[in-house]
């Protein structure tokens, strides 16, 4: 199962008030202590919307509202401390402001506080606290938290390991369009982990993630088309999905695409393309596949002239630099 990628919550943007929302009117209300106006004014300065972008002004107005207990402003101030925007970077301060908002039930703050406990950012690392805050946010429908909670059930960190619970939380996030959850749920159906094994369901969830640009889902969807599992067998579709994943730096997709060009069984045989994708695959590969991919790259290289090899190597370097490994 893939690891879940998390980060701090985005700066909260308060809905515009029903009153006059011109800058002058907003400033007047903010000066008189209106926390909603202060929060919105801080957001305007943070994003440079209608005013010159100014992180220091943004932080100052967010603090005024946060000190009054405005949860969205507390999240905003937490974001600024986490990133050093308008204030010195300070993860301990960030966690303190997230906690104030989280204790008021602000779901993004609950999720982010869970992330901070999970990784020991600004607070001591504590799996139990991470799970507790993820659950609070997940119960409110926060998709990041739902998926993180599912990952916790997969790994058994902070909760008893339980694949059925993992799948249930992944589904909640996946149904909201959360791409990592869609990919994860596809894997669960693919391998029968926490749900009955079902190739058709696996294809459906992989496709949703693949159409959002998830390289792993694109590769897996291509693999299922090549095998005819959950979909009619279709090598052309398989190659199309491999290509989309390969262009994002997915090593196995690059290898498969290179083999396809080398053999000419599905697409016209093209040793230049084979060498290009084999070279990239060897560059992106993990340790377990690097030697095998390099051996294939060298075999493809033997089919080219020295000039062709030099040109392909130049192009491969450009592509690799444009999409460095994560």
Q: Could you tell me which of 103, 93, 25, 107 has the C-alpha nearest to residue 62?
A: 93
Q: What is the per-residue DSSP string for 74-127?
A: HHHHHHHHHHTSSS---HHHHHHHHHHHHTTT-HHHHHHHHHHHHHTSSS---H
Structure token digits, residue 210: 């693949």
Give long-range contacts, CB 8 A cutoff, 24+ apart: 170-176. 170/146, 172/138, 172/141, 172/143, 172/146, 173/143, 173/144, 173/146, 173/147, 174/205, 174/208, 176/141, 176/143, 176/146
Identify the structural domains of the chain with CATH numbers, from first to last: 1-125 (1.25.40.10), 213-326 (1.25.40.10)
pLDDT single digits (tens) 136-172: 999 999 999 999 999 999 999 999 999 999 999 999 9
* DSSP label at residue 285: -
Q: Is the pLDDT of residue 12 over 50?
A: no
Structure token digits, residue 49: 């919307």
Predicted pLDDT at 284 = 95
Q: Is the pLDDT of residue 308 over 80?
A: yes
Least confident range from 1-10, 139-148, 275-284: namely 1-10
pLDDT single digits (tens) 84-102: 999 999 999 999 999 999 9
**Is the Cβ–Cβ distance between 151 and 118 less than 8 Å?**
no
Structure token digits, residue 80: 């600024």
pLDDT single digits (tens) 161-215: 999 999 999 999 999 999 999 999 999 999 999 999 999 999 999 999 999 999 9
pLDDT single digits (tens) 229-241: 999 999 999 999 9
């Amino acid at each position: 199962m893939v690891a879940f990628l998390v980060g701090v919550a985005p700066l909260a943007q308060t809905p515009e008030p029903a009153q006059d929302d011109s800058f002058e009117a907003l400033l007047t209300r903010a000066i008189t202590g209106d926390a909603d106006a202060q929060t919105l004014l801080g957001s305007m300065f943070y994003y440079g919307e209608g005013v010159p972008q100014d992180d220091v002004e943004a932080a100052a107005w967010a603090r005024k509202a946060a000190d009054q207990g405005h949860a969205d402003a507390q999240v905003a101030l937490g974001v600024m401390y986490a990133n050093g925007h308008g204030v010195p970077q300070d993860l301990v301060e960030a966690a303190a402001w997230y906690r104030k908002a989280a204790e008021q039930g602000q779901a993004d703050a609950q999720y982010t506080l869970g992330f901070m406990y999970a990784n020991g950012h600004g607070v001591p690392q504590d799996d139990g606290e991470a799970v507790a805050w993820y659950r609070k946010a997940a119960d409110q429908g926060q998709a990041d938290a739902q998926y993180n909670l599912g990952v916790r059930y997969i790994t058994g960190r902070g909760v008893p390991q339980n694949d059925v619970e993992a799948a249930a939380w992944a589904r909640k996030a996946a149904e909201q369009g959360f791409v990592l959850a869609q990919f994860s749920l596809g894997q669960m159906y693919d391998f029968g982990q926490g749900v009955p094994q079902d190739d058709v369901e696996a294809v459906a969830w992989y496709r949703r993630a693949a159409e959002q640009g998830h390289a792993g889902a694109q590769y897996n969807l291509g693999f299922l088309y090549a095998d005819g599992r959950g979909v009619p067998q279709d090598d052309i579709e398989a190659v199309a999905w491999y290509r989309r994943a390969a262009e994002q730096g997915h090593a196995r997709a690059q290898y498969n695409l290179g083999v396809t060009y080398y053999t000419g069984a599905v697409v016209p045989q093209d040793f230049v393309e084979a060498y290009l994708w084999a070279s990239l695959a060897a560059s992106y590969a993990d340790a377990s596949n690097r030697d095998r991919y390099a051996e294939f790259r060298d075999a493809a290289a033997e089919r080219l002239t020295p000039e062709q090899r030099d040109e392909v190597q130049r192009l491969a370097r450009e592509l690799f630099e444009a999409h460095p490994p994560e």
